[in-house]
Structure 1
Amino acid sequence: MQTLTEKKFLEEFYNTKGHSWRKDKTSGRYLVYVYDESYKNHRKLLSKPTKQALDKAVIKHYHANESTFEDLYLDYYSLRFGTESNSTRDRWDCTWNTYFANNPFIQKPISQYSLGDIEDFVYPIVNKKMTRKQTQKILNILKEVFHRSVSKDYRVNNPMTEFSIPDSYFVREYDKDVEESVLNSFEFKLLQKELFREIEDFPKYSTAFAILLDAYTGARAGEVVAWKWSDISFKKGIISIRRAESRHSKRNEQGEKIKGYDYIIGDVKTKNSRRNLPLSKNALKVLHLLKDWQKELNIHTDWLFVNTDGQRITASILEQKYRRLWKRLDLDSGNGGIHCLRKTFCTELALKGMSIYELQKLMGHSDIATTQKYYIKIGIDNENSLQYLEAL
C-alpha cells in the first residue's frame, strides 16, 4: 500500500512534462520514462504489466538512486569548477565550509526537503547577523542544488521558488551616496601630491605607487595588487587585468574560523572584469618611477607592488595605507576607503562625457545598472544630455 508521500510524489511525477505514463496498445503494458544517467539521453523506459506495478517500479527507481543534498552539491561543484582554482570557487568553498559542511541539513535525501526545512536552516544563520547581500552566497548554493534535483527528476518541484527571507531578519544596509564617497577635485589633487612626495622620499613599501595607479586606472584594489610587469604593454600603453586577489578567513582542519586571513590570487570575479585598461601619462609616469624604485633596491620580481623584501603587498595593506593618509590629510570627501578612488575615477569620466557603455566596459561592471548610478547621482540621465551640458 502506498503512503501519502508516495501518492503525492507519483501524482506530481506523472503530471510533469516528459513523464506521462501510457498503455501500449499492442502489448498492453504500462510504460513511462524515468531519469537515468547511464542511459542514452538520460532516459530509461520502465515497462510493467499493470499500472500498480509501474507505480512501484517508479518509486523503487527513485528511492534506489536518490541523492542527498551533499551529493548533488558535490556533483554540481565538480561540473562547474572541475579542478580549476579561481576566486569564485574559493568563495563557494568558504560558504560551503562555513554554513553547510558540518550541518545535518545536507544529509537528507533530496526529495524529503520541504520549504519549512529550508527556513529552519537559513533563518537562524541570517537572523540579525547578515545583510541581504551576504545571504546571497548561501542562497546561490541552495538554488543550484534544488534546481539540479529537479533536472535529475529527484524532485518534481523546486522549494526555492517559494522561499523568501523577511526584511526584518537582515542587518540593515546603509547605502552611501556616490557624492559622499567621491573625492572632490581639490582633495584628489592634494592626495596625489602627498603620494608623489612619499615616492620622492624613497619609501620602504610600494603602497604609494599602487594607490596612485589605482587612482589613474579605476581598477579594483584586488586587481591592482595582482598586477605583474608582464601585464603591461608600454608600446601599446595598456595594462591587462587577468587576475585578482580575494581574502578568506583562515580555518582549521575542522573548518572552523581561526585568527588571520589567506590572500589568494585567482581568476577575476566575472568575464567582464577581464579587460585592458589604457594608461594615461600620469599612470605611465608612476610605472616608470616604480621600475626605478625596484631597480634601485635590486628587487627582481614580476609583481608590481612589493615591499623591499620582494614580498607582494595585499589589498588590505593598501586599504590601511589609504585610510591613514585620508586621516592625516584631514580630508572631507572620499571617506569610504580605497574603493573611493575607483568611484572618483568613474564619476570623473562620466562628467567628462564618456558614454555609459564605454564606461561599463572600462570599469568591468557586469551590470550596466552599476554604471548608471554614477550618471544618476550627478544628475545626468544619459550620454546625450551629458554632452549637452558640456556644451553649455
Structure 2
Amino acid sequence: MLKFALQEFYDDRDYKNISQNTIDNYKEILKQFETYCFEHEIVDVNDISKSTVMGYLTECKRKGNNATTTNSKLQRIRAFLNYLVEEEIIKDNPSNKIKKAQEDIKIEVFSDYHIKQMLNYYRRLKQRDKSFYAYRDYTMIVTFLSSGIRRTELTNLKWSDFDVTNARLRIFGKSRKHEVIPITDKLIRELSSYKLYCQQNFGEHNLNEYIFTNRENKKLTTNAVQNIFKRLAKVMNFKDVRVSSHTFRHTFCQKCIQAGMSTFAIQKLMRHSSISVTERYAAMWGNDLKEQNDKFNPINSIDV
C-alpha cells in the first residue's frame, strides 16, 4: 500500500538523520503525489508507472510549476521509489526513465537600489517606534547580505557561534556539519548592537541562545523567515525580483564575483560542495564582469 510505504520511507529518512526541513519537504511533495495517485485509483506502489509520474508532473506544470519546481518534485519521487527498490518492494524505478525538464538559466539578484530600499524601510521603522521586528529583520538582512548563508543556517545561529575576537561565524551547514566563515567589522557591529537591544528588550539573563527569535523570545523557524520576506515583498512591491533569503545568497555571490574575488575563495565562503557550482555562477555573471571592466579599466584614461 502506498500510504504505508510512504510512512516507512519517512521513518527511514529520519533514522538516517536527514534534516527535519528536508523530511518536511519530502512529505509536502509526496503527499501531493499520493493524492494524485489516489485520484487515479492507484493505491499499490507496484502500480506506479512512468506514465503515472509523468502525468503528475504534467499536472503540476499545468498548475503553474516551472521547470525547476517540477525537477525538484521528480527528484523527491525518484528518491522514494529508489528506496522501494532497495527494500525489494518494487523491482524497478519507473521514474529513472524520465529526463529532467530543461531549466531557464536565470538567477535573480538584488540591485543596490533594492537593497537600499529594504534597509531604509527598516531604518525608518526603528526610528519611529523602536520595533523589535524592525531591529531583528534589519539585522537579518545585513547578515544575509554580508555572509551569504542559507535560511536554515541563519535560524540555527547561536550567540556562541558569534566570535567577535576572531571575527568569524560558526555555521551549522547544509551537510549537517559546523563550518567557520570570516565576517566583516560592519557585521560585527550590527550583530553586537542587536545583541545589546535583545538584552534590553528581553532582559540580560533571558537572552535566548539563538540569535534570531520571535517576539516571545523563542527560536525563529525557517517558515517564519519565509513569511517575513513575503510581508516585505508586499511592502516593497518590486516587479523585477523575488524577495527571498536565497536571493540574498545569490546577491552575495554576484557581488563577490563582480568585485574580483577568486572562485576558490567564493566557494569557501558559499560552502559549495563542488567548485563547479561556483564556476557556473562565475560564468553566468561573466558579462557583468566584462561590462565593469569596459567601464572602469585604467587604460580608458590613458592615451595609447
What TM-score, normalized by structure 1, do the two folds share? 0.57
Residue aligning to 2:242: 336
Residue aligning to 1:362: 269
Unaligned ranges ≥5, structure 1 = 1-67, 168-172, 243-267
Residue aligning to 2:171: 241
Residue aligning to 2:140: 210
Instruction: Give identity over the alignment, percent.
Output: 18
Contact 1:272 1:366 in 2 (8 A): no
Query: What CA distance in whole angstroms lies between the structure 2 residues aligned with 1:166 and 1:343?
Result: 22
**How far 1:209 sits from its partner (Å)?**
1.9
Residue 259 of structure 2 corresponds to residue 352 of structure 1: yes
**How far 1:76 sits from its partner (Å)?**
4.0
CA RMSD of aligned residues (A): 4.0
Q: Deviation per CA, 1:75-97: give whole Å up to 9, x if none.
A: 44433322855211111122233
**How far 1:238 sits from its partner (Å)?**
1.6
Query: What CA distance in whole angstroms lies between the structure 1 residues aligned with 2:251 and 2:45?
Result: 51
The more displaced of 315-324 and 289-298 is 315-324
Query: What CA distance in whole angstroms lies between the structure 2 residues aligned with 1:194 and 1:94?
Result: 34
Query: What CA distance in whole angstroms lies between the structure 2 residues aligned with 1:222 and 1:150?
Result: 31
Structure with the higher fraction of residues in helix conformation? 2
**How far 1:216 sits from its partner (Å)?**
1.7
Closer, same or farther: CA 200–120 of 1 in aligned 2, 3 Å:
closer
Q: How many residues align?
A: 281
Query: What CA distance in whole angstroms lies between the structure 1 residues aligned with 2:215 and 2:77?
Result: 46
What TM-score, normalized by structure 2, do the two folds share? 0.71
**How far 1:312 sits from its partner (Å)?**
4.8
Residue aligning to 1:254: none
Contact 1:318 1:338 in 2 (8 A): no
Residue aligning to 1:375: 282
Unaligned ranges ≥5, structure 2 = 300-304
**How far 1:124 sits from its partner (Å)?**
3.9
SS for the counterpart of 1:107 is coil
The runs of at least 4 consecutive aligned structure 1 residues that moved more than 6 Å come to 389-392
Q: How does 1:163-242 map to 2 (within 5 A)?
A: 163=98, 176=106, 178=108, 181-184=109-112, 188=115, 192=119, 195=122, 199=126, 202-205=130-133, 206-242=136-172
Contact 1:221 1:318 in 2 (8 A): no
The more displaced of 287-296 and 367-376 is 367-376
Query: What CA distance in whole angstroms lies between the structure 1 residues aligned with 2:36 and 2:56?
Result: 12
Residue aligning to 1:93: 27
Q: How does 1:271-350 map to 2 (within 5 A)?
A: 271=175, 275-299=179-203, 300=206, 301-306=208-213, 309-312=216-219, 314-320=224-230, 322-323=232-233, 326=236, 335-339=241-245, 340-350=247-257
Query: What CA distance in whole angstroms lies between the structure 2 residues aligned with 1:391 and 1:282?
Result: 29
Residue 97 of structure 2 corresponds to residue 162 of structure 1: yes
Query: What CA distance in whole angstroms lies between the structure 2 residues aligned with 1:320 and 1:154?
Result: 42
SS for the counterpart of 2:198 is helix
**How far 1:165 sits from its partner (Å)?**
7.9
